[in-house]
Amino acid sequence: MFERFEKLQMVWLAIILSVGLVAAVKVGTNTIAKDSITVTGSAYEVVKSDSGRLEIELSARKADKQTAYNTVKNQLPVVMKYLSDKGINDIEVKAANGYYTYKYTANGNMTNDIAYYNLSQLVVIKSDDVEKIKKISTDIQQLLDKGIDVSVRSPEYFYSKLGDLKVKLLQDATTDAKDRATAMLKATHNKPGKIQSVRMGVFQITPVDSTNVSDMGINDTTTVDKKVTAVANVVFRIK
């Protein structure tokens, strides 16, 4: 009787061990299946801007408003001819803005007496020829030589095919991430499998030699040649 009971215990023990082994194998397989690797890939391309924008400001400081307006009014045709001679056709003349500057006493107190009237008028030019924009921004001395009070603001340069380029760079950044994952897993004799998730980072549009980055992204408009960089954070299954 005791011998039969002992054999029965051995049978149950074997069953329990078998079930436990199957469960352990199942749990281990699920863990491996869920293993993943997260890799950051990047890609960049250098592009040349294909359009430019420049703001030119005419100024006058005269004793009264009417004289200031007349001065700028007479200067404007000279500026327009200068731009036309340079091959600029897209020209927008903004509304003039002005304000009074008042005299001060010897003690530094402002009075109600007008010292002069300040007037400024903005002329905005655009061109698909970025070299024209660049040259005009540094060649404004010709207008100064004619007695025109003029100043230029920093030119802006743009790339019109940025949308298409972003799509290409995101693809390239994802490919780069897979290449990195492959290199990292090579020593373990594993490979990256299917993509579990992809998170795209912000684009960095910077001067070619710049290393600046920003969490909000950078959109440089100050240089003709730009470097457009894309980043992709990719999670791969390990196989």
The pTM (predicted TM-score) of the whole model is 0.77
Range of the domain at 219: 35-48+161-238
Do 142 and 171 lie in one domain? The reply is no
For the segment 98-148, what is each residue's pLDDT rounded down to a tens digit? 999 999 999 989 999 999 999 999 999 999 999 999 999 999 888 998 889
Rounded distance between C-alpha atoms, residue 229 and residue 160, angstroms: 16
Domain CATH code at residue 146? 3.30.70.2970
On whether the CB atoms of residues 176 and 42 are closer than 8 A, the answer is yes
Do 142 and 189 lie in one domain? The reply is no
For the segment 73-112, what is each residue's pLDDT rounded down to a tens digit? 999 999 999 999 999 999 999 999 999 999 999 998 999 9
Do 147 and 197 lie in one domain? The reply is no
- Domains identified in the chain, total number: 2
Contacts 24+ apart (CB under 8 A), 46-49: 46/208, 46/225, 46/226, 46/227, 46/228, 47/159, 47/161, 47/165, 47/225, 47/226, 47/228, 48/130, 48/159, 48/224, 48/225, 48/226, 49/130, 49/157, 49/158, 49/159, 49/223, 49/224, 49/225, 49/226
For the segment 38-59, what is each residue's pLDDT rounded down to a tens digit? 999 999 999 999 999 999 999 9
